[in-house]
Structure 1
Amino acid sequence: MEYKRITSIYDQNFKKLHDLMGKIFPPEEVLEYDLWKEPLEDPSIRVFVAINNDEVVGATEYRYYPDWNIAMTDFTIISKPGLSLGRFLAQNRLKDLQQLAKENGKELFGMFAEIYDPYRVEHHQFGGVKVMDPYVRREVLSHLGYKRLDLNYVHPSWENNGEAVSGLDLCFMPTNEEVDKLPATLVKDFLPTYYSVLSNKPKEWLDMVEKLSQQESIPLLPL
């Protein structure tokens, strides 16, 4: 199996990836095809696919932020069981991020991820792919070391329609397992940067970010 980076919407594997995203994720979580042009060409955004027999069977997108020495996992797709895709993607992603941090003269501090909470929202079926079941994904990410930020979290819809999307948790996987809180300023600075591509921010999201100014730290809770 090959771990290959995609840097252009004209890459034949990107069409396969975008079709796969449309089958797996709800519409509000998928950026329009043409709007991927700039993100894919951005050197800080890393989109990799797992290719097996010329078929895109999995993918992961993530970013490394050298100023904060943290990463953000945008998404992970596992389309088939029995290929150890989860481990393949997680191991290759971590290896890549550790190299980026090393080039930055540091050891990676940790990685953010948004995780569906199926105990609050049950309708996300992820294209009927059992290995993408929200209950399964939540436990896998817990095993990887992700912890939930003690925060009433919403995020702007990727359809850029000003709607707030709920039913997710913002989580963080610290490299040092003893880390049990994050500076509120880190989260407050990170979220606007991460969502800068979306011009239409919902009021609920703006209020959430503003409230972070009133906190010194945010506890990390079990997932």
Structure 2
Amino acid sequence: MDYIRITGINDPYFRQMHDLMKLVFPPEEVLEFEQWAGPLSDPGIRVFVAVHEGEVVGATEYRYYDDMQVAMTDFTIIGREGLGIGPLLVRNRMEDILRLVQAGSGVLHGMFAEIYNPYLTQDYNFGGVKPMDPFVRREVLSHLGFRKLDIDYVHPSWHNDGTAVQALDLCFMPYREDAFAVESVPTGRITNFLERYYAVLPNKPQQWYDMIEQLKRMREPVRLLPL
């Protein structure tokens, strides 16, 4: 199985990846095909697919912000069972991020990720792909070291229509030897990241702005809780 980077919408593997995204993710989480042209040409946005016998069976998107010294896992897709897609994506993603870190500041505080909370909603079946079941994905992130931030989280729809997307948790995985001794994340790190990450969406819901303002008013760092 190969780990291949996608850098344009004309890449034949991109069509397969986009179809896979539409299968497993709710519509509000999937950027329209043509709108991927800009992100894929951005050197800071890393989109890779797992290709097995000519078929895209998995994918991941991530990025590293050198000035903030944090990374973000945008999404991870495992399209088939029993191929070891998850370990392939996680291993190669981390190796690539660490190369970016070493080429930059040399510091990585940790990685953000969003995850659906199946205890709040069970409306999504993620295309019936069992590895994408939100209960399974939640346990996988927990095993990797992610914990949820103790906030009521909301994010703007990727349809850029101003809709608030809820029933998700924002998570963070500290990157250091004693990672589990880290009990909180500075609010400035969270707000700086969210404002940068969602700057590409001009139509954000008022709930998102309210969340950001509430975070900025907090004097204490945000606690990390078990998933």
TM-score by length of 2: 0.96
1:215 shift after superposition: 1.5
8 Å CA contact retained: 1:146, 1:173:
yes
Q: 2:210 aligns with which of 190, 207, 210?
A: 207
Query: Structure 1 CA distance, aligned partners of 2:91 and 2:141?
Result: 13
Structure 1 letter corresponding to 2:100: L
Alignment of 1:1-223 (within 5 A): 1-176=1-176, 177=179, 178-216=181-219, 217-223=221-227
Aligned counterparts of 1:198 and 1:96: Cα–Cα separation in 2: 27
The residue identity in structure 2 corresponding to 1:194 is Y
Residues 147 and 222, structure 1, Cα contact 8 Å, conserved in 2: yes
Letter in 2 for 1:62: Y
SS of the equivalent of 1:161 reads: coil
Contact 1:156 1:163 (8 Å CA) reproduced: yes
- Tell me how large the CA RMSD over aligned residues is: 0.8
- Distance apart, 1:108 and its partner CA: 2.1
Structure 1's consecutive aligned runs of 4 or more residues displaced over 2 angstroms after TM superposition are none
- Give the unaligned 5+ runs of structure 1: none
Task: Give the fraction of aligned pairs with identical amino acids, expressed as a percent.
Answer: 57
Q: Is there any run of 5+ residues in structure 2 with no aligned partner, and where?
A: none
Q: Is the 8 A contact 1:98 1:107 kept in 2?
A: no
Maintained 8 Å contact 2:158/2:201: yes
Aligned residue pairs: how many? 223
The amino acid that maps onto 2:193 is: F
Q: TM-score, normalised by structure 1?
A: 0.98
Residue identity in the other structure for 1:220: L
